[in-house]
Amino acid sequence: MSRRGELDVVVVGAGAVGGALALALAQDGFEVALVEAREPKPWRAEDEVDLRVVALAPDARALLEDLGVWRSIAAARIGPYRHMRVWDALAPGELHFDAAERGEAALGWIVENKLVQWALWQALHEDSVGRNGFTRAAAEHSKGVRKSIAADAAATRPMIHCPGEVAEIEDGESGVTATLADGTRLRARVLVAAEGAESPVRKRLGIAFEGRDYAQRAVVAHVATERPHAGTAWQRFQPGGPLAFLPLADGRCSIVWSLPEADAVRLLALDDDAFRAELGCAFDFRLGAITATTPRAAFPLRLRLAARYVAGRCVLAGDAAHVVHPLAGQGMNLGLRDVACLRRVLRDARDRGSDLGAAHVLRRYERERRSDNTLAARGFDAIERVYGLASEPVATLRGAALALAGRFAPVRGMLAAIAAGRR
């Protein structure tokens, strides 16, 4: 596929987005190198459920199925949800989504971020044995995760450089060269930065981030409730920020509570009894009393959008390009949509005999994904602003809008389709 001594694509970052992209392109027959600073921590069935969970949409599941890793993830630990309920703390009206209305088994799946990353890492590792010096011993760390590679995967395999760090990038007319900290030089036609929100490659390329800090933190924990979660994802909007209860496979709920900094710090300092009481009240006791909680953690909330996705033969994907408010749980879904789009664009370019790194090829990806991601991010930001207002007239309008949307199946269907990636 590539010219002698040259790779097709170098992917920097082996999180869910980078790992999925490297695996997808390798299975499509591209010559790929994956650079990652450190091996991810192993997922083990006996460990406590990771506090970082994601709500995977149907299109994200479809991509992971296509890559041959969904079966491993589903066999390990996932929480499907068939219903979603959204309501306002300051006004009547509720929005209810039901998978049955769309003829589907689930609206989405609550999965540990760590599990998705580890399943992809194991798939990449298995597909790379013999090319990069890794052994299969790492698999012993992931009891419960079965490695599964698509039976029709292409013969090419990703070259994994871990630990690896990009020290220098030389972008030229015919290719891009990434020099790693150990002196290894990787020449390719395209380089993809997918190392997360603090992407060193993005910074090295001089691509600015725009956006704002929400002056909020998301407090996260796993809690047990008096009544079962009934396979439902719950979200209550409050003046300080949204509170989500997400159904876990073990019957508990993962909470994501967005709060002003001072309130988050106060909640983190509460003892468990006081925290459970305050949480139950904030959730309107929809599932009865909160009967148990894990230790809590918190992370800052920010809106970040890259000013551009392409610089020469280098492109951004995932959190390296966009960071959104967690109220809709769409961060990883947006990143995996980046993967699906870039994969399609590069395959189309190859089929036409075009240079993979040509400006018109990479701009096609940028136009589609930057537009989509910006629209989603600004939409989430607008919702956060509107629901952050405690004004009674505004609250009345919000409640009326929710009630109106809830009464019309076409509106509910449209919103569910957007969340699922089926625009």
Residues 117, 38, single domain; the answer is yes
> Domain count of the chain?
2
Q: Look at residue 2 and tell me if it is in a domain.
A: no
Q: Look at residue 395 and tell me if it is in a domain.
A: yes
Residues 152, 168, single domain; the answer is yes
Domain limits for position 258: 79-107+215-301+389-419
- Quick one: pLDDT band at residue 255, thresholds 50, 70, 90? very high
Residues 140, 22, single domain; the answer is yes
Q: Look at residue 90 and tell me if it is in a domain.
A: yes
Q: What is the pLDDT of residue 134?
A: 29
Residues 243, 266, single domain; the answer is yes
The model's pLDDT over 158-187, given as tens digits with 9 standing for 90+, comes to: 899 999 999 999 999 999 999 999 999 999
Residues 90, 192, single domain; the answer is no
Q: What is the pLDDT of residue 225?
A: 98
DSSP string computed for 308-325: -SEETTEEE-GGGTEE--
| Sign of torsion over alpha carbons 159, 35, 309, 173 | negative
Higher confidence at residue 132 or residue 411?
411
Residues 330, 375, single domain; the answer is yes
Q: Look at residue 275 and tell me if it is in a domain.
A: yes
Q: Look at residue 156 and tell me if it is in a domain.
A: yes
Residues 223, 93, single domain; the answer is yes
CATH code, domain carrying 40: 3.50.50.60
Please give the Cα distance from 73 to 13 (Å, whole number).
20
Averaged pLDDT of the chain: 86
The model's pLDDT over 88-97, given as tens digits with 9 standing for 90+, comes to: 887 777 788 8
Contact yes or no for 168/349 (Cβ under 8 A): no
b/e 31-48 (16+ beta carbons within 10 angstroms → b) = bbbbbbbebbebbbeeee
Number of separate helices (H) and strands (E) present in the chain: 11, 20
Question: Rounded mean pLDDT of 337-355?
Answer: 98
Q: Look at residue 150 and tell me if it is in a domain.
A: yes
Residues 293, 317, single domain; the answer is no
Q: Look at residue 124 and tell me if it is in a domain.
A: yes
- How far, in Å, are 105, 218, 299, 302, 394 from residue 215 at the CA level? 38, 10, 11, 8, 22
CATH code, domain carrying 406: 3.30.9.10
Paired with 323 in beta bridges are 304
Residues 70, 101, single domain; the answer is no
Q: Look at residue 1 and tell me if it is in a domain.
A: no
Residues 370, 232, single domain; the answer is no
Residues 120, 25, single domain; the answer is yes
Q: Which residues contact 78 (CB under 8 A, 6 or more apart)?
A: 109, 110, 111, 249
The model's pLDDT over 109-157, given as tens digits with 9 standing for 90+, comes to: 999 999 999 999 999 987 553 333 322 333 333 333 333 333 333 446 7
Residues 52, 161, single domain; the answer is yes
The model's pLDDT over 4-58, given as tens digits with 9 standing for 90+, comes to: 458 999 999 999 999 999 999 999 999 999 999 999 999 999 999 999 999 999 9
Which pTM does this prediction carry?
0.88
